[in-house]
Amino acid sequence: MPLETFKASDSLTMGVELELQLVNSYDLDLSSSANDLLELLHRKPFPGVVTPEMTQSMIEIATGIHTEHGPLVAQLQEIRDTLVNAGDRLNIEIAGGGTHPFQRWFEQRIFSKPRFQELSGLYGYLAKQFTVFGQHVHIGCASADEALFLLHSLNRYVPHFIALSASSPFSQGVDTLFDSARLNSVFAFPLSGRAPFVLSWDEFASVYFTKMESTGVVKSMKDFYWDIRPKPEYGTIELRVCDTPLTVERAAGLACYLQALCRHLLERNEPAPEEDDYLVYTYNRFQACRFGLDGMMVNPKTRQQISIREDILATLRLLEPHADALKSRAALEEIERTAGHDGNHATYLRRRFAENGSVQGVVRASVEALRRGP
């Protein structure tokens, strides 16, 4: 079946998806309670979209389409409050964070949805190990070629989003030494990583996708787990590298950072993307996962090394006029505080662990952070 037509949307609109943890209130382990929570939530109108995910100890929420920071963060806060209140009725805590610090993957149960059952049959234990939690950000694109241009122009900024969002330093009860351990689980899947370098949608659809489909490996875009992928049914690109932050306010800030960056890139004042940009892509991504904001990255155009933190701060200065035009200055100021002073949520969770010496305390800190916000 041919790839569906790219449905053009309003340029620079944005939407957010968050995968969230369901946690037992008594022992702070993951709780296979998605069915109970979804049943309760479906009794009343929900201020967004809420759906099951791969395993029964996680759910996904999605916002509507937004153009500005204020309405986006307001909807995310309303969704959060609705989830927390419903969870309280069931003795379930809701938490952000890219991994649960001590859950045992082999105890997870696959959600009873045909696609999830199919993936479990295909990927075996990897499906249960995929009980990790990410933020996906969609940006609207006026054309399919614009989508591919943005997708490849953003490649050098992927380390920014990994480092800023990183919130998964703990896994299986230990400090992994990675700021984002979650992405190591994603990399295990065969169709993860980067998209092929194609800037024409006609070529992408009629040549690349047709060849891939003919192998029987893929049926639709859902089968690709790329760091950034086009979503033709929405008319967007989808950034998929972010850990779910501990707060919805951070999630909104990351979305607005991406929106402003795309506005800047669409001015086409930077050198055009090319295949050689990806020579350092895997290295840069590793540095961001392992060291977060303290990592080093290579600018693919100049081949110079720079700290990820300094590259973010320099980019934020470049984006100031775009933040004003998009009414997102408050969001980008929060991103600046994260990069310049406060650190990412991986740093925050390590501080909490140092204070109490307990991975249960790390979960408690995650639960409280979502409830109270920044």
Q: What is the pLDDT of residue 190?
A: 81
| Residue 2 falls inside a structural domain | no
Domain of 220: which CATH number?
3.30.590.20
232 domain-assigned: yes
Q: Nearest 10 degrees: CA dihedral of 241, 247, 251, 257?
A: -110
Does the pTM exceed 0.85?
A: yes
How is residue 357 written in tokens? 């010496």
Number of domains the chain is built from: 1
State the Cα–Cα distance between residues 184 and 133, nearest whole angstrom.
12
Residue 262 maps to a domain: yes
d(CA 8, CA 125): 38
pLDDT one digit per residue (tens) for the chain, 374 residues = 678 899 999 999 999 999 999 999 999 999 989 999 999 999 999 999 999 877 888 999 999 999 999 999 999 999 999 999 999 999 999 999 999 998 765 555 555 666 656 655 556 555 555 679 999 999 999 999 999 999 999 999 999 999 999 999 999 999 999 999 999 988 877 888 999 999 999 999 999 999 999 988 888 888 899 999 999 999 999 999 999 999 999 999 999 999 999 999 999 999 999 999 999 999 999 999 999 999 999 999 999 999 999 999 999 999 999 999 999 999 999 999 999 999 999 999 999 999 989 999 999 999 999 999 86
Domain-embedded: residue 3 = no
Structure tokens belonging to residue 302: 């100049």
Residues 6+ apart with CB under 8 A from 138: 14, 15, 16, 17, 231, 234, 236, 237, 238
Q: What is the domain extent for residue 65? A: 14-372
User: Looking at the domain assignment, is residue 5 inside a domain?
Assistant: no
Is 354 a member of any domain?
yes
Does residue 6 fall inside a structural domain?
no
The confidence score (pLDDT) of residue 314 equals 98
Could you give the 3-state DSSP secondary structure of residue 318? helix
How far is the C-alpha of 9 from the C-alpha of 28, rounded, in Å?
42
